């Protein structure tokens, strides 16, 4: 009698492990698919975050600088408004600002304050000094640059190393080192041209 019951339940005993194994396999496949999909999404998000990360890395030219940065357009538009010799160099100002982690407008604004944006620069041996920033000018001693671009590079690097990398960002604090005799007029002038650049809007036709 007992043997008869065992024979009767034998198919059920054989089916249960097979069913359990099949269910386990389906669950395992589902988990693998979910994990792979999650990893793929995480990976894409990580890649995107690399290219959108700030602050900008030193020495890297951003795609916006290459393809028409609106910051460069603002600088050039203000230079054009005042008929400045520095017009057309907006990209250089922005590139050097990004390289040295300084505000994009500051070296351009200093050029306005120191030389009317390059209109009133010292000459040495009847040659232009390309020094629109009053940088290292002491009486008859004038620091000359090879070109406007060279001047932008040197002054941007100086601003980054001497001030912004040390946490000195206030214009009037910068003035105390850059041009001590100014007594406030320098930082107010630079701030005025900062606002000019920031707030510039192209005329609507």
Q: What is the per-residue pLDDT for 136? A: 83
Residue 134 has pLDDT above 50, yes or no: yes
CA 203/CA 124 separation, integer angstroms: 39
pLDDT band at 50 (very low <50, low <70, confident <90, very high): very low
Instruction: Give me 176's structure tokens.
Output: 């105390």
Whole-number average pLDDT of the chain: 78
Mean pLDDT, residues 140-159 taken together: 95
Mean pLDDT, residues 168-174 taken together: 97
> pLDDT higher for 150 or 200?
150
pLDDT band at 54 (very low <50, low <70, confident <90, very high): very low
pLDDT band at 87 (very low <50, low <70, confident <90, very high): very high
Q: What is the per-residue pLDDT for 141? A: 85
Residues in the chain: 205
Q: What is the per-residue pLDDT for 68? A: 76
Which alpha helices (DSSP H) does 52-170 contain, by range?
63-66, 70-81, 90-100, 106-115, 148-162
> pLDDT higher for 3 or 44?
3
Q: What is the per-residue pLDDT for 52? A: 25
CATH (residue range 63-199): 1.10.530.10
User: Using one digit for the tens of pLDDT, what is the confidence trace for 12-46?
Assistant: 455 555 555 566 666 566 666 555 554 443 343 32
Rounded (5°) CA angle 192-196-198: 115
User: Is the full-model pTM beyond 0.75?
Assistant: no
């Amino acid at each position: 009698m007992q043997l008869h019951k065992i024979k009767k339940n034998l198919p059920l005993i054989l089916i249960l492990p097979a069913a359990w194994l099949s269910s386990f396999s389906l669950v395992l496949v589902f988990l693998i698919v979910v994990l792979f999909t999650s990893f793929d999404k995480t990976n894409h998000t990580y890649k995107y975050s690399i290219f959108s990360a700030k602050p900008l890395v030193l020495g890297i030219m951003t795609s916006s600088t290459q393809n028409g940065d609106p910051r460069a357009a603002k600088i050039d538009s203000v230079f054009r408004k005042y008929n400045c010799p520095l017009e057309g160099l907006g990209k250089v100002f922005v590139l050097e600002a990004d390289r040295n982690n300084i505000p994009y407008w500051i070296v351009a604004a200093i050029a306005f304050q120191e030389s009317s944006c390059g209109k009133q620069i010292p000459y040495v041996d009847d040659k232009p000094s390309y020094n629109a920033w009053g940088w290292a000018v002491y009486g008859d001693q004038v620091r000359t640059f090879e070109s406007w671009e060279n001047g932008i590079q040197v002054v941007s690097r100086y601003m980054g190393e001497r001030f912004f990398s040390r946490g000195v960002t206030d214009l009037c604090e910068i003035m105390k080192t850059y041009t001590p005799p100014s007594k406030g007029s320098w930082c107010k002038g630079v701030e005025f041209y900062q606002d000019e650049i920031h707030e510039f809007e192209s005329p609507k036709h």
